[in-house]
């Protein structure tokens, strides 16, 4: 009986290290919850989804009119399958948050979102101006958590 209790404690301790609680990784938990809520809201109101995606997109038009709002909102708008993004965000944010803390993880994610957005949007506009691309990105839809997610995954791995 004592061996079973010890084994159970060892199993719980190992599980607690591998799967952190929301109190151990509040930023990762908040990101996962925010993604779930935003996606559920968009899926429950499919008639509004196109308007939300168009407003939240980080294209050149929105960056000129409401840059901060589009940068923040676009992070939580997932138009495709949620599960891969959700898993990568949960794992990447939790690993990095445990290593460097919630503030630094948030800073890395935000910097990744801002820098990658500016590089891709203005880079594609410049390429269109030089006629290297067929169309400008001024009205193209660009939403999702990918820039922040990959910024966090890089140091976490």
Stated pTM of the model:
0.81
- pLDDT confidence of residue 23: 80
**Structural domains counted in the chain:** 1
* 31, part of any domain: yes
Q: Range of 66's domain?
A: 20-156
* 49, part of any domain: yes
- pLDDT confidence of residue 156: 65
Please name which of 157, 83, 60, 150 lies closest in space to residue 113, comparing C-alpha atoms: 150
* 71, part of any domain: yes
Mean of all residue pLDDT scores within the chain: 86
- pLDDT confidence of residue 114: 94
* 3, part of any domain: no
Q: Write out residues in the chain with pLDDT < 70, as ranges.
A: 1-5, 7-8, 11-12, 14-19, 135-139, 156-157
How distant, in Å, are the alpha carbons of 13, 56, 143 from that of 122?
48, 17, 15
* 102, part of any domain: yes
* 36, part of any domain: yes
């Amino acid at each position: 009986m004592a061996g079973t209790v010890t084994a159970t404690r060892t199993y719980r301790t190992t599980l607690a290290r591998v799967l952190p609680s929301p109190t151990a990784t509040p930023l990762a938990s908040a990101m996962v919850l925010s993604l779930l809520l935003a996606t559920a809201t968009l899926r429950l109101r499919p008639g509004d989804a196109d308007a939300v995606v168009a407003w939240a997109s980080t294209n050149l038009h929105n960056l000129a009119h409401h840059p901060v709002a589009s940068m923040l909102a676009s992070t939580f708008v997932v138009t495709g399958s949620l599960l891969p993004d959700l898993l990568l965000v949960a794992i990447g944010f939790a690993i990095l948050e445990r290593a460097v803390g919630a503030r630094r993880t948030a800073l890395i994610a935000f910097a990744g979102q801002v820098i990658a957005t500016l590089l891709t949007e203005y880079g594609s506009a410049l390429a269109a101006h030089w006629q290297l691309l067929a169309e400008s990105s001024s009205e193209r839809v660009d939403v999702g958590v990918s820039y922040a997610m990959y910024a966090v995954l890089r140091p976490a791995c």
